[in-house]
Amino acid sequence: MIVIKDVARRAGVSVGTVSNVINSPERVGEDTRRRVEAAIAELGYVRNVHARQLRVGHSRILGLLVLDMGNPFFVDVARAAERAAHRAGLGVMVCTSNQSASEEEEYLALFAEQRVRGVLLTPADGSGRTVEAFGRHGIPFVLVDRVGAGGAGCSVSVDDVAGGTLAVGHLTAAGHRRIAYVSGPPHLQQIRDRRAGALAALAEAGIGAEALIELPTETLDVAAGRDAASRLLGLSQRPTAVFCANDLIALGVLQTLFAAGVGVPQDMAIVGYDDIEFAAAAAVPLTSVRQPAAAMGRLAAELLLEELAGESGAHEHRQVVLQPELVVRRSSLVRRGANGGPL
């Protein structure tokens, strides 16, 4: 392996000069610089970031930990964050916790070992214990899709209570009086907030909380939606609408309902969450609560970059909360009897 010393020898200069050519070329004379650059090219020298980081004390990599890269929502977040980081000359290491607190812990430990410059994460652990533990390493972090607890760092999130209200308010306005909530794993704050929003919408419509039939699932993917729909079909008093914690689940629900001959939206309305690209292309285009995924990723990265750039103390932690938006499509088209009493 070629090291800086080999380049120095080849160019007939000291290692310090080679380092200067790489890191601050303006300090080096015109012709020496060209000689060194030629030597680098000829030998195919690539500098060792580990040696560099050991000396300078920090790397040029950001850690990004999301719940599930199988969900296009998080892919959008990750891409936007990566673009923003790249603009600032930083690389991003993307990892997936699979909504497991233990995997989250494992990856955060990896980030700490790597001495990443900063971390963007969507916590899987509802208790906030792993995040708190990570905070002790002194590595700056920004919470994504989750409001920060206690102001230990910045956060960018979307108002999930408002989102839940938007979704269920839309359904009650269309006359639905029994609504299922396919909720995903209840240890996630997002899930709990969306339920709170849903209940608020029911209350506002003067409907009791028992009208919300909760169907929790282990995961947040299409398979979970299929499974939940089977359970839904088995209920004695079948609801007339389903609110799904995300679009993957909604697509799974849609598939199973379709296979069972249940008409959407006539027999069962569906509202999803996230408004992923595939929601619009579904068998029945999905009504969904749109989250500004790209904006969230970009803002999170920018907040982190700001914190990194600011001389110590100059940065003040902020909690940014974005607003969701309801996108109405065919899966929840207003039924006959809308705005009327019970059907």
Partner DNA sequence: GGCGACGAGTGAATTGTTTCAATGAAATTG
Partner DNA sequence: CAATTTCATTGAAACAATTCACTCGTCGCC
Shortest distance, CB of residue 19 to DNA, whole angstroms? Answer: 3
Query: Among positive and negative, which fits the CA dihedral 207, 209, 210, 213?
Result: positive
Output the 3-class SS for 311-339: CCCCCCCCEEEECCEEECCHHHCCCCCCC
| Site membership for a second copy, residue 251 (CB under 8 A) | yes
Residue 137 binds DNA (CB under 7 A)? no
**How near is the Cβ of 108 to a second copy at its closest, in Å?**
10
* Type of residue numbered 235: L
Q: Which of 44, 89, 261, 342 binds a second copy (CB under 8 A)?
A: 44
Interface stretch with DNA, choices 47-55, 63-71, 270-278, 307-315 (CB under 7 A): 47-55
Other CB atoms closer than 10 Å to residue 272's CB: what's the count?
A: 32
Is the separation of the CB atoms in 236 and 263 below 8 Å?
Answer: no
Among 3, 15, 22, 93, binds a second copy (CB under 8 A): 93
Q: Which stretches of 146-261 are assigned E, i.e. beta strand?
A: 154-158, 179-182, 212-215, 241-244
17 binds, among a second copy, DNA, none (CB under 5 to 8 A by kind): DNA
Which of the ranges 21-29, 130-138, 226-234, 286-294 carries the binding residues for DNA, by CB under 7 A?
A: 21-29
Residues binding DNA: number (CB under 7 A): 29
Nearer to a second copy, 110 or 322 (CB): 110
Can residue 137 be called a binding residue for a second copy (CB under 8 A)?
Answer: yes
124 within 8 A of 188, measured Cβ to Cβ: yes
Alpha carbon separation from 221 to 46, 103, 184, 233 (Å, rounded): 42, 18, 9, 19
Q: Which stretch binds DNA (CB under 7 A): 45-53, 131-139, 162-170, 244-252?
A: 45-53
| Residue 332: both structure tokens together | 């929840």
Q: Judged by CB under 8 A, does residue 317 bind a second copy?
A: no
Amino acid of residue 1: M
- Out of 22, 88, 94, 334, the residue judged to bind a second copy by CB under 8 A: 94
Over 203-233, what HEC string results?
HHCCCCHHHEEEECCCCCCHHHHHHHHHHHH
- With CB under 8 A as the contact rule, the residue among 280, 295, 322, 328 that binds a second copy is 280
Q: Are 111 and 119 in contact (CB under 8 A)?
A: yes
Residue 8 or residue 284: which is nearer to a second copy going by CB?
Answer: 284
d(CA 225, CA 260): 14
Return the H-helix or E-strand segment holding 274. Answer: strand 269-274
Q: Give whole-number Cα distances, 275 to 27, 272, 288, 290, 324, in Å.
A: 52, 7, 5, 5, 10
Among 29, 138, 150, 341, indicate the residue that binds a second copy (CB under 8 A).
138
Work out how close the CB of 307 gets to DNA at its nearest, in angstroms, rounded to a whole number: 20
**Residue 46 interacting with a second copy (CB under 8 A):** yes
Q: How far apart are the first and last CA of the chain?
A: 76
Residues that bind DNA (CB under 7 A): 1, 3-5, 12-17, 19-20, 22-23, 27-29, 31-33, 45, 47-48, 51-52, 54-57
Residues that bind a second copy (CB under 8 A): 1, 44, 46-51, 53-54, 59, 69-70, 72, 75-76, 78-79, 82, 91, 93-94, 96, 109-110, 112-115, 136-138, 222, 251-252, 254-255, 277-278, 280-285
